[in-house]
Amino acid sequence: MFKLIKKYLMEGIGWGCFILVLNLIRTNLTNPELLPEIFENFIPNAIAQILIVMGFVSTLIIFEITRWHVGLKLIIHFSLALGTLIIVGFSFNIYSTQNLSNIPMDVLNNSLVLLFVWIVYYFEEKRDIQKINKRLLEIRLEQQSDTE
């Protein structure tokens, strides 16, 4: 179990760094005037971004440790991930109580990130299932050839 938790935390950190770089590139292309403000507080912004994505990726562990319906898992994962976004957002002063107008756009953007994570996870699982099915077919064919 510890290895599984470690795996998801490391993947979360990796994806967090990757998304941080993508966000910097996007900001440079769309709003380059914001870059000085971002780099002025770069360390807290980077830590916040990595924590947010860690919350998104590490909570994928729910798909491996439970046998619940996939819809329930998606709802729980979505709630935990967006909860992480809001908590980290307020903790690192990304959001302020005076200006809550940027929260809906962040929720939308991060929902799209979650959708991307779910799609990647889906194709990884599909590939694993295909490997298992292929191996089961090989075993079945071996057993049939042994009985003949």
Render pLDDT for 60-97 as a digit per residue (tens, 0 to 9).
778 778 888 888 888 888 888 888 888 888 888 777 66
> In the 3-class helix/strand/coil scheme, how is the chain assigned residue by residue?
CHHHHHHHHHHHHHHHHHHHHHHHHHHHHHCHHHHHHHHHCHHHHHHHHHHHHHHHHHHHHHHHHCCCCHHHHHHHHHHHHHHHHHHHHHHCCCCCCCCCCCHHHHHHHHHHHHHHHHHHHHHHHHHHHHHHHHHHHHHHHHHHHHHC
pTM (2 decimals)?
0.64
User: Mean pLDDT over all residues of the chain?
Assistant: 82
At residue 133, the pLDDT reads: 94
The pLDDT of residue 99: 66
Top-ranked range on mean pLDDT: pick from 34-38, 72-76, 115-119: 72-76
Residue 132: pLDDT band by 50, 70, 90 thresholds?
very high
Average pLDDT for residues 31-40, to the nearest whole number?
80
Mean pLDDT, range 119-129, rounded to an integer: 87
Q: What's the confidence (pLDDT) of residue 43? A: 85
pLDDT of residue 130: 95
